[in-house]
């Protein structure tokens, strides 16, 4: 089990192993970079197959948050935490209070929020021990539900429209076919926005009920989960899983634009190069799915939702800058995005 020699280790500032014998807490908190501000990132609870897997995940995810917040022009760095355990059977309020104490000990260099396997209730338990927690809805602002997904969807919508503008010279979605993979919290909100803008939806999800709802409410056409990536569409919006753009799927893609919410859509960097060679415009995932983290930040600052939305609309400028630089230098958009992020957070 290695930290410094793990392939995901990237000059992380601090990696803390937290243990609490009474509650059984085993957690790792990784602070990747705080040059732009305190690191912020979700707390994932997952039954990792090994401690090495947990270390790798927290190193990888915390680094990703540095890039995401830098690209979103937030005064935040990147961090993440993982709790080793099964969220279905091993959660207790005491466990999360112990996690809160561990976060408190980092002294504000890490701000925790919800992630896969953790819930608003868990964040409330963490908040009993530390103020360094985001995404808490205390009910003081009725326009805030505490759910970042609609904000994530709004940012994806903004980025997707910018991609259409770059390809077509205008951002009118009227009549364009958009294939949406995954109709969860983000995907369904995105479908609503696309529908309202006049797009025609083609959708797939493992959950047949949600697909039926999209057909009924939004006039979507349903296809199977095996077909969605290769369906005849102008735009593909992956909103389910990572790694969907890979050697197999790239051969059959028919969309000319990829713009969706899922994290780590490209299985590896070389798939960005393959998309470039095929003339498919890829809106880098972490750039356009940053709406949720923007809302967590503004919620913590006590600023109104209108400020969140205004900030999210800035995703258009960032996306355009990436597309322009990528086109001028004939480079993959993901590569250019990383370079711009690094210019922002790396020590000068």
Residues making contact with ligand NAD (CB under 6 A): 148-149, 152, 181-187, 204-207, 210, 225, 239-241, 261-263, 289, 292
Residue of closest CB approach to ligand NAD: 184
The CA-atom distances, in angstroms, between 247 and each of 116, 148, 256, 270, 277 are: 27, 32, 17, 10, 13
| Catalytic position from the list 80, 161, 251, 303 | 80
Q: Smallest distance, Å, CB 296 to ligand NAD?
A: 9
Q: Rank residues 137 and 185 by Cβ distance to ligand NAD and give the closer one.
A: 185
Q: Rank residues 114 and 338 by Cβ distance to ligand NAD and give the closer one.
A: 114
Q: Rank residues 93 and 184 by Cβ distance to ligand NAD and give the closer one.
A: 184
DSSP 143: T
Q: Smallest distance, Å, CB 204 to ligand NAD?
A: 5
Q: Smallest distance, Å, CB 211 to ligand NAD?
A: 9
Catalytic (active site) residue 80: yes
Q: Rank residues 204 and 341 by Cβ distance to ligand NAD and give the closer one.
A: 204
The C-alpha angle with vertex 154 and arms to 232 and 46, in degrees rounded to 5, equals 90
Q: Smallest distance, Å, CB 174 to ligand NAD?
A: 26
Torsion angle defined by CA atoms of residues 15, 21, 25 and 26, in that order, rounded to the nearest 10 degrees: 40
Q: Rank residues 204 and 275 by Cβ distance to ligand NAD and give the closer one.
A: 204
Closest alpha carbon to 163 in 66, 61, 298, 275: 275
Q: Smallest distance, Å, CB 77 to ligand NAD?
A: 18
List of long-range contacts for 199-206, beta carbons under 8 Å, 24+ apart: 199/173, 199/174, 199/175, 199/235, 200/175, 200/176, 201/177, 202/177, 202/178, 202/228, 202/231, 202/233, 203/179, 203/228, 204/179, 204/180, 204/228, 205/181, 205/240
SS3 278: coil
Q: Return the active site residues.
A: 80
């Amino acid at each position: 089990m290695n930290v410094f020699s793990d392939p995901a280790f990237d000059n992380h500032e601090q990696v803390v192993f937290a243990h609490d014998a009474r509650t059984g807490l085993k957690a790792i908190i990784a602070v990747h970079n705080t040059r732009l501000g305190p690191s912020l990132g979700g707390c994932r609870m997952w039954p990792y197959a090994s401690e090495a897997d947990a270390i790798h995940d927290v190193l990888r995810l915390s680094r990703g948050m540095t890039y995401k917040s830098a690209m979103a022009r937030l005064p935040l760095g990147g961090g993440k935490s993982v709790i080793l355990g099964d969220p279905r059977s091993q959660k207790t309020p005491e466990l999360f209070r112990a996690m809160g104490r561990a976060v408190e000990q980092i002294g504000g260099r890490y701000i925790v929020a919800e992630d896969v396997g953790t819930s608003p209730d868990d964040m409330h338990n963490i908040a009993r021990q530390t103020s360094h927690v985001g995404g808490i809805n205390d009910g003081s602002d009725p326009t805030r539900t505490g759910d970042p997904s609609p904000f994530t969807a709004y940012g994806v919508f903004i980025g997707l429209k910018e991609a259409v503008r770059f390809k077509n010279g205008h951002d009118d979605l009227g009549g364009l076919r958009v294939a949406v993979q995954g109709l969860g919290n983000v995907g369904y909100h995105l479908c609503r926005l696309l529908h309202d803008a006049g797009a025609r939806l083609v959708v797939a999800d493992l959950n047949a009920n949600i697909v039926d709802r999209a057909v009924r409410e939004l006039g979507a056409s349903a296809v199977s989960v095996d077909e969605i990536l290769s369906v005849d569409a102008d735009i593909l919006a992956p909103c389910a899983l990572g790694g969907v753009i890979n050697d197999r799927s790239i051969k059959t893609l028919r969309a000319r634009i990829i713009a969706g919410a899922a994290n780590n859509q490209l299985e590896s960097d070389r798939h960005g190069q393959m998309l470039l060679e095929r003339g498919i415009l890829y809106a880098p995932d972490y750039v356009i799915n940053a709406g949720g983290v923007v809302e967590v930040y503004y919620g913590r600052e006590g600023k109104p939702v209108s400020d969140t939305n205004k900030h999210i609309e800035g995703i258009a400028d960032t996306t355009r800058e990436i597309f322009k630089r990528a086109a001028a230098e004939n480079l993959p958009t993901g590569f250019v995005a990383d370079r711009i992020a690094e210019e922002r957070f790396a020590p000068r």
